[in-house]
Amino acid sequence: MTGLLLSGALHAAEPSPVPGKHTFALGTEDFLLDGQPVQIRSGELHPGRIPREYWRHRLRMVKASGMNTVAIYLFWNQFEEEEGKFDFKTGERDIAAFIKLAQEEGLWVLLRPGPYVCGEWDLGGIPAYLMRDPKVQLRSSADENYLKAVQRYIEHLVPVVKPYLVTNGGPIVMVQVENEFGSYGEDRKYLEFLHDQWKKNGIDVPFYTADGPTDKMMKNGTLPGCAVGLDSGTEDKHWDIAKKHNPGVPVFSSETYPGWLTHWGEKWQNVGVDGVIKDMKWYMDNKKSFNFYVFHGGTNFGFTAGANDGGKGKYQADITSYDYDAILTEQGRPTAKYDGIRSTIAAALPDLKLPPVPEPIPAIEVPEFKTEPFALLRDNMPGKPVPLDQPKSFEELGQYHQGLMLYTTTLPDNRGGKLDFGTTGVRDYGLVYLDGKFIGKLDRNLAETTIDLPATTGTEKPMLTILAEAMGHINFGRRMSDDRKGLLGPVKLGAAALTGWHARAIPLADADIAKLKPGKPGADDKGVFFKGGFTLEKAADTFIDLSAYKKGVVWVNGHNLGRFWEIGPQKRLYCPAPWLKAGKNEIIILDLLQAEAAPVSGKSTLR
């Protein structure tokens, strides 16, 4: 029995998420909407990765493909950047507005609120302020301070989303308890705590968990009475494993992957169309519910990109683009996967009258324009030096939002030698200077932990400076709780640990960039701000091409587009039209490695 399909405005008899009273429940095999079996066909979007002005367009693209549901991650650290200060209203944080739009566009909602979400987002969505505690145990029932922070998050979030539960006439039909806990730990008490907190605070719709389809992950990650999400589930045996560990509830593929993530230094992902359409057909032929992760990825604007633990000490920072080789491109355009999915659904459901596909949002080429050196990092450090016997991490020093930290100390003599940063190295990228002269870099991606310092003929006790850059907290696996940034312990010159440090935070907040003091670079200045401008007759999307620059961050009209890096694969950063204007537009580029100006242009595609 196929039952009713959640397809919005198809037939008068079909329930749609217009404001009104519906019921949604878990049967023993099926999801039940108003007492009838339904197939959930979902595409995932992340409001925090999409300019707010494009929310409706992306939702309409999901709807026009034949989906009836949208799944959404909420990033806790986007709502609570500073401890105890919550923002659910400004810009892309206005999650209530997004859910309203989803309902207006005829889409039901699967809410994935964390507290942990992974998602290749910094620290998997958990606020980095928790990392200032050296004993923190993230995602654990053993850490009372962590649980109190989670409880506070839930207490602030629930009033925002509760009006939009299906029980209150809204589109939210299910809430995920946590995310992929089966691949993290064996702490049943923690999962039960989360489940109880959501219910205690008024979430009265069904819940689900999401884990990989293995015995271990199902055993550790599922909860009795909660639907089972599979990441991913495209074979009968996957469903059988879920039913064995959590019988009597529906099972669905909560993350079907049409693409995959990309790290700096890798090649672009290229997941073929055929496999995606094969999965789609399997779901339709077998009447299985599913969610495409991700339908449209969006962008890791600013410093929001996370990182992965590649094993054996390997660190893998995620690129700024979250294009993901998904069904829609980073700019929201349909791919061959989109066309194939839409055709497959139309063939399987001949009575389904699909809405027309929205017109693509325009993208333009911006002719090459000049930039000029404008300001120096060394002249624009808002923080004050903090004296330390031994260096401390960003988090211990109160900097949670990535950026940079400047560490300085005086060497005992000028003989040089091997500088050793221990097993942790510099997290995650470091530039080393002696008396202001650039010596070299340390890259955590390459597991570089030592550097040779030359003897100097100037001062007897030269000044050692390390400029440390955070490239994203690890967002998956057991090393999350230990992934602090900067210098984490003793730095040795030969056998002796250096002492007498000073640390100075450089958060690179948008407000700091707006008031840069001008300056001209010298031969050894590696942190240089460049400024340029371009004129548009009309604002439209573009991709800022930074192929001529090396490594840093770029702002356009005050908006942080994210990181760039010459190792690629990404050389162009997405700049949405709402951040541009007709007439003059300003670009500011911070390059950590380059002192010479280079031309910049805008391209109409990511690659």
The first and second tokens of residue 392, run together, are 């401390």
Q: Annotated catalytic, 255? A: yes
Q: Annotated catalytic, 53? A: no
Phi, psi torsion values for 129, nearest 5 degrees:
-60, -25
d(CA 20, CA 267) in angstroms, rounded, equals 48
Of 44, 80, 92, 255, which is the active-site residue? 255
Name the nearest CA neighbour of 475 among 140, 121, 129: 121
The first and second tokens of residue 234, run together, are 């495209």
d(CA 165, CA 160) in angstroms, rounded, equals 10
Of 14, 92, 105, 180, which is the active-site residue? 180
The first and second tokens of residue 286, run together, are 């077998």
d(CA 472, CA 479) in angstroms, rounded, equals 13
**Residue 385 and residue 502 in contact, taking contact as beta carbons nearer than 8 Å:** yes
End-to-end CA distance of the chain: 45
Which amino acid does the sequence have at 33?
Answer: L
Determine if the peptide bond prior to 518 is cis (ω within 30°). Answer: no
User: CA–CA distance from 330 to each of 67, 112, 255, 267, 558 (Å)?
Assistant: 19, 21, 19, 17, 21
Q: Strands (DSSP E) along 444-582, which ranges? A: 450-453, 463-469, 492-493, 496-497, 501-506, 528-536, 542-545, 551-556, 559-565, 572-575
Q: Are strands 108-112 and 69-73 parallel, antiparallel or unpaired?
A: parallel
**DSSP states of 363-411 as a string?**
B--EEEE-EEEEEEGGG---SPPEEESS--BTTTTT--S--EEEEEEE-
Q: Where are the alpha helices (DSSP H) in 477-530?
A: 510-513
Catalytic residue numbers read 180, 255
